[in-house]
């Protein structure tokens, strides 16, 4: 089995991981897209717990229980809004993945699923986001070779899945 993979689907229905990552906003109190879907499926207890976290800075991550989702944890990370690439967007996106992986490591989470962070309403270019995501996670896995069994990207549409699959396949083949 490959350590890194991509699938097309709904991240709220993923059953092969211990944690899913939520592309959240700074309030952590729900929103649109992936964030809204995760909050709807998890139920009101997730919102209740998120209120106790007092938000999250862009590029950072916080963890909660998953409640009614088919996993144990939700790692909430706040991706950057794309403003042309001159406001540390690339570094902030990489930090989302590093912070999420670090929380997973601290909580002994061996299987984790990510969405495509910041590429929806935050307008981060998908190709660049995929490259940053895969390179950042692969680098983290290299530093922690025995701590993870699966990192997958669960992608909602065919185009995004294809773009991420190209990056993951290149990494898996050592290109």
Q: Which pair of tokens denotes residue 51? A: 């209120």
In the chain, the number of structural domains is 1
Q: Which pair of tokens denotes residue 13? A: 């229905």
CATH of the domain at 25: 3.40.220.10
Q: Which pair of tokens denotes residue 106? A: 């601290």
Q: What is the pLDDT along the chain (175 residues), one digit of tens a residue?
A: 579 999 999 999 999 999 999 999 999 999 888 999 999 999 999 999 999 999 999 999 999 999 999 999 999 999 999 999 999 999 999 999 999 999 999 999 999 999 999 999 999 999 999 999 999 999 999 999 899 999 999 999 999 999 999 999 998 887 5
- Structural domain harbouring 104: 4-172
Tell me phi and psi for residue 107, to 5 degrees.
-100, 15
Burial of 99 (0-12, 13-18, 19+ CB in 10 A): buried
The predicted model scores a pTM of 0.96
Cα diameter, the chain: 44
SS3 110: coil
Residue 104: its H or E element: helix 89-106
Region label for 133, one of left (φ > 0), alpha (ψ between -120 and 50) or beta (otherwise): alpha
Q: Which residues, 6 or more positions from 133, have their beta carbon under 8 angstroms from its beta carbon?
A: 93, 97, 114, 116, 117, 153, 164, 167
């Amino acid at each position: 089995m490959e350590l890194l993979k991509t699938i097309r689907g709904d991240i709220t229905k993923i059953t092969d991981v211990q944690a899913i990552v939520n592309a959240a906003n700074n309030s952590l109190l729900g929103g649109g897209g992936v964030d809204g879907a995760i909050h709807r499926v998890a139920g009101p207890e997730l919102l209740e717990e998120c209120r106790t976290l007092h938000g999250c800075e862009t590029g950072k991550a916080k963890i909660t229980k998953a409640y009614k989702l088919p996993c144990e944890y939700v790692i909430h990370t706040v991706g950057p809004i794309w403003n042309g690439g001159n406001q540390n967007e690339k570094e902030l996106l990489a930090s989302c993945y590093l912070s999420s992986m670090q929380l997973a490591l601290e909580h002994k989470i061996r299987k984790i699923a990510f969405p495509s962070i910041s590429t929806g309403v935050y307008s981060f270019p998908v190709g660049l986001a995929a490259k940053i995501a895969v390179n950042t996670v692969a680098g983290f896995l290299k530093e922690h070779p025995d701590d993870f069994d699966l990192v997958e990207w669960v992608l909602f549409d065919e185009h995004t899945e294809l773009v991420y699959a190209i990056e993951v396949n290149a990494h898996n083949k050592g290109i």
